[in-house]
Structures are given as C-alpha cells and as structure tokens.
Homo-oligomer: A and B are copies of this chain.
Amino acid sequence: MIAPDPKLMRLALQTAKNHQTPFGAVIAMGDQPFVSAGNLVSSTSDPTAHAAMVAIRQMADHLQKTDLAGYHLYTTCEPCPMCMGAAIWANLDAVIYGCPIEDAGNMVPQINLHADTIASKSFREIQVVGGLLKDECIDLLRELRSGKT
C-alpha cells in the first residue's frame, strides 16, 4: 500500500487555484512531483481536458512513453470514468483523490461511477485511495464551481 502524501495534494489544490478552476492534478513518484495540471476544458475547447487527463498526457509526452508504471496520480476530485480509464491505460500504480464523487455531485454534474468500481473491472491492478485533504478539496470546488469546469 502507498502512503499518500498531503504535500502533493496541496500542490494539486494550488495548481487548480492558479488555473482558476476547481480541479487540479499532480503526477508524482514517491514524494517527488513531476507534472501538475488544472482543468483546461474551457480554455482549450477540449471536452477531454480534465486536470487528470492533462497531467497524464503531459507526463507521457515528457517521458515519450505510454507506460507510467511507478507513478501516482493525485487529483482534487475523484476521477470520472474518463480520467480513471486513462489512469488504467497509462498503467499508473495508484490514484489518490480528495473530494468523493458524492460530494462533487452535489455541486457539479457527475457520472456516478466510482473510481474503484472501474478499477475493479480492469485488467490491471491500480490502487485507489480517497479522501486525502477532503475538506480542502470540497471547499475549493464550492468556491470555484461557477468557473471553468
């Protein structure tokens, strides 16, 4: 089992704030962050540009390979099926999220499928850990939900 690092979630939160969106993500190995991203859906007219997707793409592009084994994804909200699917295809070791989908769903539209449900249907092992800095992640979503999602 991994030991989730609050410092990395704080970086995801700060990245979200810097982008003026309620969603941020970081990809790290151990306690070392490698990329951080905010949601770019509105700013790039790309409906797939959730923070976790952008972070995965940036990391794969940086490494010039599609296999991100050994890396962990930190994301302020529980990944939607799109983002969780991407985490599986990228072969990430673990996904650590803050705000659970139920709390997010009270504020913004969601696809109501849990990240660990998707992980359980996968052909790969991927750890899913929820609730890290949950209150801060919920507060950020409440504060910025009227912005870019």
Contacts and interface: CB of A to CB of B under 8 A. Distances in A.
Contacts of A60: 45-48
Interface stretch (A9-17, A24-32, A61-69, A134-142): A61-69
Interface residues of A, number: 40
A19 interface: no
A33 interface: no
Main secondary structure of the interface of A (DSSP, over half): loop
A86 B90 contact: no
A128 B117 CA distance: 21
Given A45-B60, A46-B60, A85-B111, 11 more contacts: A42-B66, A45-B61, A45-B66, A46-B61, A47-B68, A80-B85, A80-B89, A81-B113, A81-B118, A110-B123, A111-B122
